[in-house]
Amino acid sequence: MAVPAGEFLMGSEDALAYPADGEGPVRTVYADAFWMDACTVSNAQFARFVADTGYRTLAERIGWSFVFAGLLPDDFPPTRGVVGAPWWRQVEGADWRQPDGPHSTWEDRADHPVVHVDWDDARSYCAWAGKRLPTEAEWERAARGGLHAKVFPWGDEFEPGGRPRMNVWQGDFPHRHPTADGWYGTCPVDAFEPNGFGLHNATGNVWEWCEDLFSTSRDEQQRVTKGGSYLCHASYCRRYRVAARQGLFPDSATGNVGFRCALDMT
């Protein structure tokens, strides 16, 4: 989708934001015109890339990745969790082909976003497609859809008219999720209405890799991800907002991180 050149207010000084995330201060940023994919890269698209190149993701090479525990069978054997986030479980065989582990396959969710891809995996796909990852400023410019300083891609109201507009967690995280938005894990890349620039799922569903370093500090190597995911909830991760940001190490590959591509407009 074409995103026109222009200035916008980037960042947030939301009182409920997380100070360590560095969303603020709100500042005026100019972005040149560019192209942004309407959707995150789907499993079907990534499968074509792999078939054409023989590419193997990091998760495939090391043989495991982190999966949300709620997506595992009840009789799944105990495995290592993440300190401070026990709902993440190390699952042998989990990768983009088997998003929830060996009991799952991408083929029954071909139109869902590819996950278990790290920053290098995402950049490799972009290069094959003749594109690139967006900068953080480009991502936020596109996600705002032309709106001025709004919280979400559609405005300030979380659920206008009581109708979900994105795929995030409802209920009591991580135990109860009534799935009012229709999805427990990921949803199709074109689910929900697009924003003013034609982007689907700019918030919720999966975190999206950006090109930028999360911090300019010399000892900080994390990269920016934006948009939140299907696991975000106001009780612990209110990052399903266009200004929100999260830093991940480039070799991070989990079941709620994907990406979309950008391209210079010439």
Edge to edge, the sheet with strand 81-82 lists 64-68, 85-92, 81-82
pLDDT at 68: 96
Displacement of CA 161 from its chain's centroid (Å): 25
Per-residue pLDDT tens over the stretch 78-126: 888 787 888 999 999 999 999 999 999 999 999 999 999 999 999 999 9
pLDDT tens for each residue of 137-146 = 999 999 999 9
What CATH number did the domain enclosing 136 receive?
3.90.1580.10
Identity of the residue numbered 13? E
Report pLDDT for 216.
Answer: 56
The pLDDT of residue 219 is above 70: no
Q: How far is CA 156 from CA 7, 142, 165, in A?
A: 20, 16, 12
The mean pLDDT of the chain is 94
The pLDDT of residue 217 is 56
Query: Which domain does 119 fall in, by range?
Result: 2-264
5 and 31 Cβ atoms separated by less than 8 Å = yes
Number of domains in the chain: 1
